[in-house]
Amino acid sequence: MNRPKVTGGLGSRPSALRVFLRENALSLIFATLFVGALTAQAMVGHALFNQELTAAGQDPVTLWRYVSSSEFAVNVMENWQSEFLQFLLFILATVWWVQRGSTESKPSDRRGRESDADQMVGEHARSTSPRWARARGWRLSLYSHSLGIVMGTVFLLSWLGQSLAGAVAYSHEQVREGQEAVTWLEYLALPDFWDRTLQNWQSEFLAVLSMLLFTIYLRERGSPESKPVGAAHDATGAEG
């Protein structure tokens, strides 16, 4: 006799690991891409740096020596600070300013900080709301701006890191060429610092502008960064 297959039950439940991977797939994918790209940058940068040292008649350095050097640090920090500046400005700008038709903007009638009811804070908080969203006073005020505070802090720290590492790297290059090293304050006034800074800023601002405008007219079915395919071009803040 053929017995029917048993379905369901404990054996059919997904494991905790599978559930975790499924529910955190987006962050895990980008974390993996980040580590992979950073590793590749270190290896390529190490090869290029050793080429420059050899051309200057100096001994090459190990990979560890390179990734712990100011030369590697400044290349990493200059990208990090521009990325977090982009997020910081976009987070703050979208509180008050809108772009009609863009998914990256909220509707024009919601400009500003919005009401406590809209933000689900204080007496309007739900049972699932974070604890500090149900509070009042400095805790609510701090939590209400916590995203901007963290993004701004990371931006300032990474920009400071870029300037410090850049000053050391620039001085090393000066010494190799038989010139004098510079102080940190002197480096802040040099074109090298601002060239590294501004070439990253302009690319980030262009990326934000492109996303704002492209989402008005273009679609990517199923993505929350896109409007539904059939949504009107002037639908603002709609997500697919």
pLDDT in tens, 28-74: 999 999 999 999 999 999 999 999 889 888 899 999 999 999 999 99
* CA separation for the pair 187, 209 (Å, rounded): 31
pLDDT per residue as tens digits for the range 137-164: 999 999 999 999 999 999 999 999 999 9
- The mean per-residue pLDDT over the stretch 185-196 comes to 95
pLDDT in tens, 81-132: 999 999 999 999 999 999 999 999 999 889 999 999 999 999 999 999 999 9
Task: Residue 147: name the closest of 67, 91, 226, 80 by CA.
Answer: 91
The whole model's pTM is what?
A: 0.86
pLDDT mean over 170-190: 92
- pLDDT tens profile 193-204: 999 999 999 999
With beta carbons less than 8 A apart as the criterion, state whether 94 and 213 touch: no
Cβ count within 10 A of residue 238 = 16
State how far the Cα of 84 lies from the Cα of 89, in Å rounded to an integer. 9
Q: What is the pLDDT of residue 118?
A: 92
**pLDDT attached to residue 178:** 86
**Within its chain, how far is the Cα of 62 from the centroid?**
30
